Amino acid sequence: MPLFSLLLSVGGIKRKLCKSRVLLSGDSAGFVDSFCGEGIAYAIRSGQLAADAVSLKLHNNINLVKNYENLCNQEFLHNLKYSYYLSWLIHRFPNIFLKIFTQHAIVIDRYLEVPALKDTYKNYIKWILSRVPGFLLKSV
């Protein structure tokens, strides 16, 4: 859980993604997974989406700012915001969550479904929060 990703990533500081002649992508836009620090895939994909948005503006006069934001939202922004919330929880309550993560293998196994794109951070957070009391009772 790199701390730099908490400062960089979406979900924390609110920022503009684009103006009429400037589009931010990758780290500059905050497209980083706050929990695992992954940013390469989002940098590549947001660059592709920025190119798509510029092309649609040039050929079909579609609103650049709104279109780029929508494209990023549809593909990954929502999930990245929840990666920020999970990191926030762990940094805010390390005694609880580090215990759970280190003592219950299922917590890690279940998390691995998120980077494998089989589940979302939102579902994972719901899943883990509803089990915190049970995990703590079973912890040593």
Ligand X SMILES: Cc1cc2nc3c(=O)[nH]c(=O)nc-3n(C[C@H](O)[C@H](O)[C@H](O)COP(=O)(O)OP(=O)(O)OC[C@H]3O[C@@H](n4cnc5c(N)ncnc54)[C@H](O)[C@@H]3O)c2cc1C
Residues of the shown chain interacting with ligand X in the complex, contacts defined by CB under 6 A: 26-28, 32, 37-41, 43
Single-letter amino acid, residue 25: S
**Contact of 91 with 11, CB cutoff 8 Å:** no
- In the bound state with ligand X, the residue whose beta carbon lies nearer, of 71 and 100, is 71
From CA 133, how far away is CA 128, in angstroms rounded? 10
Write down the least CB distance from residue 64 to ligand X, Å: 19
Write down the least CB distance from residue 108 to ligand X, Å: 18
Single-letter amino acid, residue 8: L
- In the bound state with ligand X, the residue whose beta carbon lies nearer, of 46 and 67, is 46
Q: 10 Å Cβ neighbour count for 35?
A: 26
- In the bound state with ligand X, the residue whose beta carbon lies nearer, of 62 and 79, is 79
